[in-house]
Copies of this chain bind each other. A is one copy, B any other.
Amino acid sequence: MPISKGPQAFPRTEFLRRLAAVKSEMTRREIDAFLISDAHNVTYLTGYTTPSGYVPQGLIVLIDEEEPTFILRQMDAPAAIHQTFMRRENVIAYPEALIGTPNRDGYDTIIDFLHEKGLAGRGIGVELEDLRSQAVAKLRARLPVARILDCSNTVTWIRIVKSDLEVAIMREAAAISDAAMQRAAEVMRPGLREADAVAEIVGTLARGANGKPGTRIAGICLCSSPRTGTSHIRWSEDVFHQGSQINLELGGVRHGYAAGLMRTFSIGEPSERLRRVHDAHIAGMEATLETIRPGVTCSDVANAFYQTYEKHGFKKESRCGYANGIGWLEPTASFQKGDMTQLKPNMTFHLMLGNWFDEDFGYMISESVRVTDSGVEVLTNTPRKIFEL
């Protein structure tokens, strides 16, 4: 039996709006076909969130066809028919025999499709940065006359301004982040293994909030003393102790969209140093939130933090955040000195103010935020405090 269409997170009109923006860029860059391989861009343009991109697959947007065509392995075609907004004819399965065999793979099916559509001599956009060099070599070899144009971040830059529908989904993700952070505060105590805290946190990330389950478990980072100088260790086999500081980064996910959130915990009274760091971060966070509004640059936002923070006697080398949405990080704008991206309404960012001072001491605080018409909306809603446990 054919598989039915699943419930869609967005209406068809939303996907067509996104595709229109992509096609407008295609017209500007004079390309007739656009091969999209980045899994998050595929999610954006189709609704597909299944993690099948560890083998070749590609979404092809044609300038003169309303819906894109998704080419992927046979085993995953039913998921694509079920999850995407397109008609089933626009999902093309390539045979399983192309998996794990030398010389031929799914890119051959993609290239065959471009030939069949008469595009072998036309302009073809490709996300060169995302593709493995082997795939690029095959594209060039089998499409020798095509004008292959690097469109690596074309879709990603379109993604940076969210629709109201996307913002609604990100609010749902942020509510899950809050619930998971709250759960962490409830369960963490001396003697508990870090892994047991993680069990409760990921359970909450799956159960979700407000009746909306999480749709993916995004990578969480939990570290406790003496590892708080690390930023991305998942967790260790250690237990919490009286006096432990705990840094936690997590993010709820809805339909691909993640909302990052960081907080710092202390079992027992925080050290004087941790308090001073926290106070400086809160002052910096407030200065940053006051700065965010349409028209200011990402560099302005970063400078608002750095200036306030340095007045408190601290220095942060790393950027103050990055565009966020599908996946987690969107590789476009950063809150960083010199990033002249101008903020626009409905851009969303992970305002990431974590800082790692010494090899054995760091501090985490962050919010997921949205640029509004006149300022900022903080999507996450967890107290901005050191959680004393």
Measured CB to CB, the residues of A under 8 A from B are: 1-4, 6-7, 49-52, 54, 74-79, 81-83, 95-97, 99-101, 128-134, 136, 152, 193-196, 198-200, 202-208, 212-217, 219, 226-227, 229-237, 317-319, 322, 329, 331, 334, 336, 338-339, 356, 358-361
A96 touches B319 (CB 8 A): yes
B100 touches A339 (CB 8 A): yes
- Nearest-Cβ distance from residue A125 to partner chain B, whole angstroms: 14
Specify which chain B residues have a CB less than 8 angstroms from the CB of A132 in the assembled complex: 129-133
Specify which chain B residues have a CB less than 8 angstroms from the CB of A77 in the assembled complex: 359
B359 touches A50 (CB 8 A): no
Task: Choose from B74, B99, B134 the contact partner of A129 (Cβ within 8 Å).
Answer: B134
A213 touches B237 (CB 8 A): yes
Task: Choose from B96, B195, B227, B229 the contact partner of A206 (Cβ within 8 Å).
Answer: B195
Specify which chain B residues have a CB less than 8 angstroms from the CB of A75 in the assembled complex: 231-232, 318, 356
Specify which chain B residues have a CB less than 8 angstroms from the CB of A128 in the assembled complex: 133-134
Task: Choose from B1, B51, B200, B213 the contact partner of A219 (Cβ within 8 Å).
Answer: B51
| Chain B minimum-CB-distance residue to A207 | B199
**Main SS at interface, chain A:** loop
Copies per complex of this chain: 2
B83 touches A226 (CB 8 A): no
| Chain B minimum-CB-distance residue to A327 | B54
A319 touches B207 (CB 8 A): no
B1 touches A100 (CB 8 A): no
A79 touches B3 (CB 8 A): no
With most chain B CB atoms within 10 A of its CB, the pick from A3, A54, A74, A101 is: A3
A100 touches B319 (CB 8 A): yes
